[in-house]
Amino acid sequence: MYTLSTIAFAFGLTLAAGLSTAIGGAIAVSRRNPGPAFMAVSLGFSAGVMLYVSFLEILPKGIEELQEVTMGEKSATFWGVVAFFGGIAIIAIIDRLVPEEINPHEPLNNNEAARRARLMKTGMFTAGALALHNFPEGFATFLAGLEAPSVAIPVAVAIAIHNIPEGIAVAVPLREATGSRQKAFWWATVSGLAEPLGALIGFALLLPLLGPTAMGISFAAIAGIMVFVSLDELLPTAEATGKHHHAIYGLIAGMAVMAISLLLL
């Protein structure tokens, strides 16, 4: 059974990671725009942390948990791999519900009211889609916080970094639609609450099942989710800045920092 302090720590990490969309909202409404090199390094760094910790820590931990349930090493590895790709399948299906980009190139009606209505619809749809997309990430962060705090902290930081552009994506069209910086900022912030909500709902539903088998499968699936997010979202976004080498340097730096932190802890 988890202590109250452990649950509070895990939830606090998840809440902080989710609410980093507020940083993106603040950037959007203040018209400050981080340079492409900074964004490439930051997103690459986040991907490096998530890839390294997924393959070197979270997936092996999941297989280790499965070995405790009278499974042999081969059987535990098999089910760990199945859960890993199951996690990828889950997040890939959810990802299909999220627009790859908000297309600004469609011809707009000259009528200002129509333009604002379109932007409002775009911003609200983006907020809802990203909230759905972030739901499993929240549970992943929360579960890592419960079981492996030393891993959970860098994972939470990595997720927080990649949530910042999501906050921008929500706030920009809503600011233009409403003319209100405050509303745009708060909607960007609210979209990040899906992560702590995912943590609470996932924990409430799975608490009776959180034995070694459930934990092992969950950790392996989380590793799959992290890998998919890194390869499908973070690295392509970093590359889209046009700063390829900065993205790769950030990726390697993220792996190196994660490796050193795990060696020291």
- Give the Cβ contact number of residue 121 at 10 Å: 12
Ligand-binding site membership of 195 (annotated): yes
Ligand-binding site membership of 233 (annotated): no
Ligand-binding site membership of 166 (annotated): yes
Tell me how far apart the alpha carbons of residues 105 and 112 are, in angstroms, rounded to a whole number. 17
What residue type is 192 in one-letter code?
A: G
Virtual CA dihedral for 216, 218, 219, 225, nearest 10 degrees?
150
Virtual CA dihedral for 236, 242, 246, 248, nearest 10 degrees?
40
Ligand-binding site membership of 246 (annotated): no
Structural contact between residues 152 and 144, judged by C-beta atoms closer than 8 angstroms: yes
Length of the chain: 265
Residue whose C-alpha is closest to residue 14's, from 203, 206, 250, 236:
203
Ligand-binding site membership of 134 (annotated): yes
Q: 3-state DSSP call for residue 232? A: helix
Q: 3-state DSSP call for residue 241? A: coil
Ligand-binding site membership of 244 (annotated): no
Start-to-end CA span in the chain (Å): 24
CA dist list (Å): 42 to 52, 129, 230, 234, 244: 16, 23, 12, 9, 12
Binding residues for Fe(2+): 134, 137, 163, 166, 195
Binding residues for Zn(2+): 137, 162, 166
Binding residues: 134, 137, 162-163, 166, 195
